[in-house]
Amino acid sequence: MPKANNDSDKLSKRLRRNTAEAIVDFNMIEDGDRVMVCLSGGKDSYTMLDMLLSLQRRAPINFTLRAVNLDQKQPNFPEATLPEYLQDLGVDYDVIERDTYSVVKRVIPEGKTTCGLCSRLRRGTLYGYAEEHGFNKIALGHHRDDLIETLFLNMFHGGSLQSMPPKLKSNDGKNVVIRPLAYCKEKDITEYSSQRGFPIIPCDLCGSQANLQRQTIKQMLQTWDKESPGRIESIFTALTNVKPSQLADRNLFDFTSLTVDRNTDLGGSTRPAEVEEKIVSWVPVSELTTH
């Protein structure tokens, strides 16, 4: 078999494995689920649909998939592209028509970032459609790099330590959002999309905004990845390995009730408790266990 075919096969298997692991780890899809697959026409959502269709054929449970596209009435939007693609695949689909483009252009001043309002309008429309049509899961195409970028966006510009969770219940409790590509790398998705020749539909609303904050974060992470291989993997692992007692959120951890336990053995020390008490008054406990 030619090397190119071998590489392609390895890539698709890796993406499927990563997708399956995320689905299982977070119990994203259960028996009998009706999953609304949000298809924007970008590389991520095309890949997500491909992965879900592939896994659906092998899954030990039964669930249904329906692709849903939101036509936001952007200029020059190729309305026939997605229906033709989905018809060729034999995938059930719906197209929702909402002129959110005009709303965004009217509200957001020229040159300002449109993504915030655009995403809120899009999310509201999709949530309402899912509830109205009986879908109990909404699948979005955010990948591992999206989760990491969002972490830094919130840290740098929002003053909060949060990202996009792989699974989320909406604030009103009426919808559950899943992100099956949460473990997938963007570079894998980009390569897979190129190999599959997906009919990509660019976003004319915000795609030309060169100075988006997310783009700045993306460039920062790409630089880190080149200069310090493995750093991005470590950052993502940190998202799954949170220690609330080592942060400073008083709503997340009960710092006010912490008291000294004089009988606690500090790092295996054999010193009497009264001696330990004296040492603690001079140096932090953390330094006593440092070797």
Read off the pLDDT of residues 93-152 as tens digits, 9 standing for 90 and up. Answer: 999 887 777 777 666 666 666 666 667 777 788 999 999 999 999 999 999 999 999 999
| pTM for this predicted structure | 0.82
Find, among 147, 123, 105, 117, the residue nearest to 68 by Cα.
Answer: 123
* Segments of the chain assigned to CATH 3.40.50.620: 3-239
Find, among 183, 187, 175, 66, the residue nearest to 125 by Cα.
Answer: 175
CA distance 96 to 160: 34
Looking up tokens 């992470």, which residue turns up? 221
> Dihedral of CA 97/123/237/20: which sign?
negative
Instruction: Say if residues 36 and 137 touch (Cβ distance below 8 Å).
Output: yes
Write the single-letter amino acid at 230.
G
Q: Domain 3-239: which CATH class?
A: alpha beta
Note the pLDDT tens digit of each residue in 6-38: 778 899 999 999 999 999 989 999 999 999 999
DSSP letter (8 states) at residue 244: G
Residue 60, both tokens: 């030990």
Residue 92, both tokens: 């059930």
Instruction: Say if residues 148 and 163 touch (Cβ distance below 8 Å).
Output: yes
